[in-house]
Structure 1
Amino acid sequence: MKLGFIGTGNMATAMMGGIIENHIASPEEIIGADPFAPGRERVKEKYGIRVTADNNEVVKNAEVVILSVKPQFYADVIAGIRDDVTDSHLIITIAPGKTLSWLADQFQKPVKIVRTMPNTPAMVGEGMTGACKNAYVTDEDMEKALSILNGFGKAELIPEHMMDAVVAVSGSSPAYVFVMIEAMADAAVSGGIPRSQAYKFAAQAVLGSAKMVLETGKHPGELKDMVCSPAGTTIEAVRVLEEKGFRSAIIEAMKKCEEISKSL
């Protein structure tokens, strides 16, 4: 599979790592473009891929092109490559707020587009990606796209109207979790645990809890109840979280995230 990246930043780097490690594409089959020389040289040295400063060189040498630049640069990037994009190319986007309709308008011609929203845990092979497609994408194309996306975590095909909610629950949510881990560690330090160990205890607890949700199939509320013994320490901690609006704060933060995503 000839795979091209326009943009070689953190998300592109994470995706490349998983794709290469899982033998979805070899380094020789990947080309990345970036106007920032240190950025493209970094991925060349790390993965052995071919790099260039020319976006159109990527399009001309790839079957699948991943637009891994910031949303505000999408219009200019697409304007620069659209003449070289053909109906045989599969375009994968990772920008919040850029709808399939908007993307089609930018290309000004029929193009196969898969819109996705990955997240930064892709950097450790545990990404979660939502994906939707336009009418030109065949089942075979979508299978190819999902094989790429599953190379750095897990991917789910969803209707486009859910994409802004995916931004809130997955794309942006690592930041909420990091804030929680930091707060848990601060409390642990206050209780006498050294900082380095506090982060480890907090992060491992979050990792293990998430794994229990995924692997047991039990409702999170049921798993929570399993930890909360009558008159015990945990139920008191949960009571304080509810009193302070922990659950509501998460919901309201995600609704705001979804609102902003829709406006991009």
Structure 2
Amino acid sequence: MNMDAGKTLEGVGKVGFVGAGNMAQAIGGALLRTGLLKASNIYVSSPSNTNKGPWIQFGTHTTTENGCVVENSDVIFLAMKPIYLDAALMDIKNTLKQPVSNKLFVSLLAGVPLKVLEEKIHRIVPGARVIRVMPNTPVLVGAGCSVFSCGTTATKKDAEIVKMMLSTGGICQEISESLIDAAGGLSGCGPAYVYLIIEALSDGAVKMGVPRAMATQFASQTVLGAAKMVLETGKHPGQLKDEVCSPGGTTICGIHALEKGGVRSTLMEAVEAATKRAAELGKNK
């Protein structure tokens, strides 16, 4: 956990999630696990009961009305899929029981620019401040990697609040919005790439006779250990790789097989493809 001990969301009060899916659950779970928020201070909306189960178990307030979340929250996470942004905002407008203003909105929507978010949100909530965030699901286990960019009216305090919340689940850094799609293509989508790698390593071990459960455990721990070596030693990944590759040994033969398979270019293309898709989603808005 990267949050300073004893810090709380002073002056914030309540946090809402419009959208109750995996990413919202990961962030909400991290806030609850670390004690930064109480369940009674979290409001969640979803049009169906499909994703409400974990939130009900958390003990949070759940509703089908987005307006209820906005009315009762100081910070509102927009956690639906980008294609549902307009519908979600319309539901906010239609279900608000009274006018609201000066709320902090935190968008998790891939590809949707701050300019578009501010324009659309301001029609419903005058004076709203907007911050665009790209987190990833490992925030749920305290090992996430999140980045964010502030809108034109977001304050320094807003940035500090968002960074504190996201830091409960790992590392968090403010970056230029021009980099956020690429960062999302790496860290936001990256866990899926790594899960695929873990599964493939496990398959290889199973092929060579290792039981599946053991193979998956060993593959997962190997990836975790390698990542910690990079982060904690500060050495370049290439140097660490060379330190494992003895002349004429087993590892260099494995590396040769990976190079023949184009693993480097394939992973680079995965980040590029995800970045381009995020940009396409933004243009569609």
**TM-score band, normalised by shorter chain:** over 0.9
Q: Which residue of 1 aligns with 2:8?
A: none
Q: Which residue of 1 aligns with 2:92?
A: 81
Tell me the distance in 2 between the aligned counterparts of 1:42 and 1:192: 38
1:24 equivalenced with 2:33 (yes/no): no
Q: What is the CA distance between 1:29 and its match in structure 2? A: 0.9
1:241 equivalenced with 2:253 (yes/no): no
Q: What code does the residue aligned with 2:109 have?
A: A
Cα RMSD of the aligned pairs, angstroms, is 1.6
Q: Aligned pair in 2 of structure 1 residues 255, 39: CA closer, same or farther (>3 Å)?
A: closer
Q: What is the CA distance between 1:79 and its match in structure 2? A: 3.1
More divergent stretch after superposition (30-39 vs 13-22): 30-39
Q: Aligned pair in 2 of structure 1 residues 13, 111: CA closer, same or farther (>3 Å)?
A: same
Tell me the distance in 1 between the aligned counterparts of 2:109 and 2:209: 43
Q: What is the CA distance between 1:38 and its match in structure 2? A: 4.7
More divergent stretch after superposition (191-200 vs 234-243): 234-243
Tell me the distance in 1 between the aligned counterparts of 2:92 and 2:150: 20
Provide structure 1 residue ranges, at least 5 long, that are not aligned to the other structure.
none
1:101 equivalenced with 2:118 (yes/no): no
Per residue, is there more helix in 1 or in 2?
1
Q: Which residue of 1 aligns with 2:141?
A: 124
1:225 equivalenced with 2:242 (yes/no): yes
Q: What is the CA distance between 1:41 and its match in structure 2? A: 4.5
Tell me the distance in 2 between the aligned counterparts of 1:86 and 1:160: 27
Tell me the distance in 1 between the aligned counterparts of 2:166 and 2:89: 22
Aligned partner of residue 35 in structure 1, secondary structure: coil
Q: What is the CA distance between 1:17 and its match in structure 2? A: 1.1
Match of 1:53 among 64, 75, 80: 64
Contact 2:102 2:127 (C-alpha < 8 Å) held by counterparts: no
1:67 equivalenced with 2:81 (yes/no): no
Tell me the distance in 2 between the aligned counterparts of 1:8 and 1:262: 24
Q: Aligned pair in 2 of structure 1 residues 50, 128: CA closer, same or farther (>3 Å)?
A: same
Aligned partner of residue 153 in structure 2, secondary structure: coil
Q: What code does the residue aligned with 1:202 have?
A: A
Q: How many residues align?
A: 263
1:40 equivalenced with 2:52 (yes/no): yes
Tell me the distance in 2 between the aligned counterparts of 1:169 and 1:175: 10
Provide structure 2 residue ranges, at least 5 long, that are not aligned to the other structure.
1-12
1:253 equivalenced with 2:267 (yes/no): no
Match of 1:6 among 11, 14, 18: 18
Tell me the distance in 2 between the aligned counterparts of 1:233 and 1:87: 63
Tell me the distance in 1 between the aligned counterparts of 2:229 and 2:112: 34
Aligned partner of residue 37 in structure 1, secondary structure: coil
Contact 1:117 1:129 (C-alpha < 8 Å) held by counterparts: yes
Q: What is the CA distance between 1:178 and its match in structure 2? A: 1.1
Tell me the distance in 1 between the aligned counterparts of 2:149 and 2:36: 20
Contact 2:76 2:103 (C-alpha < 8 Å) held by counterparts: yes
Q: What is the CA distance between 1:76 and its match in structure 2? A: 1.6
